[in-house]
Amino acid sequence: MSLLVTKGLGMEPGASSPLTGLSATYTASTNNLDIQLSSAAVLAGPALVPSSWSITSTGNPSLTVNSISLISSNTIIRLNVSEARTATYLIQLPIGITQTSDGTSYTTPNPITCNATGTGPVVLLGSSIDAITMDIVFDRPVNQSDASTAANYTSNNGLTISAAVRVTDSVYRLTTSRQVPGTTYTLTIVGIHDAAGNLEP
């Protein structure tokens, strides 16, 4: 009598689990994109080169990786990236990510999905220059077409805005009807995006 024994396809006793990615989160305030790994890892070769990383989103500009680091006991890959829009991004991981415990390479998923929520530009300052002009200062460069549209600015107390002209990428000068001394005006600003396409709140 003969007996055929087939070795199982399971993991060897004591073998490590494959290195995988569990999730990715984007923090708009710092432009950090964190990739949570299943265990501690080391980075080498292409994984340390920002241009080796691909972060894309249908209908949106790709994100540029500025820097790469490992945090949280080497279980999180932190990518500092260009500003994201509110969109779903696919992160294509390069080779060179290996598990600390046994040197096995990263397996799946690749790409990793990240749902990012971007933040739009905010006004830092509004100041009257003279009786018929005022400057609006945004916290970042804004879309010139949006910010130069006078209809995107309205005010209370009967003040009207007839023109908006770029001073710098983040400063725009409004031409207004005559401002009354001692009167406080509240501007409402709509429809202005930043360079990444995020809309002001």
Q: What confidence tens digit (pLDDT) does each residue in 111-167 have?
A: 899 999 888 888 999 999 999 999 999 988 999 999 999 999 999 999 999 999 999
pLDDT at 89: 95
Return d(Cα 51, Cα 16) in angstroms, integer: 30
pLDDT at 9: 38
Cα angle value 8/5/19 (rounded, 5°): 15
Res. 10 pLDDT band, cuts 50 70 90: very low
Return d(Cα 53, Cα 84) in angstroms, integer: 15
Residue written as token pair 């725009």? 172
pLDDT at 3: 40
Residue 27 in tokens? 């923090």
Res. 43 pLDDT band, cuts 50 70 90: very high
Res. 5 pLDDT band, cuts 50 70 90: very low
Q: What share of the chain is helix, strand, coil (3-state, %, to 5)?
A: 5, 45, 45
Q: Indicate the burial class of 116 (C-beta count within 10 angstroms; 0-12, 13-18, 19 or more).
A: buried
pLDDT at 16: 61
Q: What is the residue extent of each domain of the chain?
A: 21-116, 123-189
Are the CB atoms for 40 and 99 separated by under 8 Å? yes
pTM of the model: 0.68
CATH 1.20.200.10 assigned to domain 21-116? The reply is no
Residue partners of 8: CB distance under 8 A and separation at least 6: none
Q: Looking at the domain 123-189, which fold is it?
A: Immunoglobulin-like (2.60.40)
Residue 28 in tokens? 């708009």
Interval 54-102: pLDDT, tens: 999 998 889 999 999 999 999 999 999 998 888 899 999 999 999 999 9
Mean per-residue pLDDT, 13-27 = 79
pLDDT at 133: 96
DSSP state of 145: H
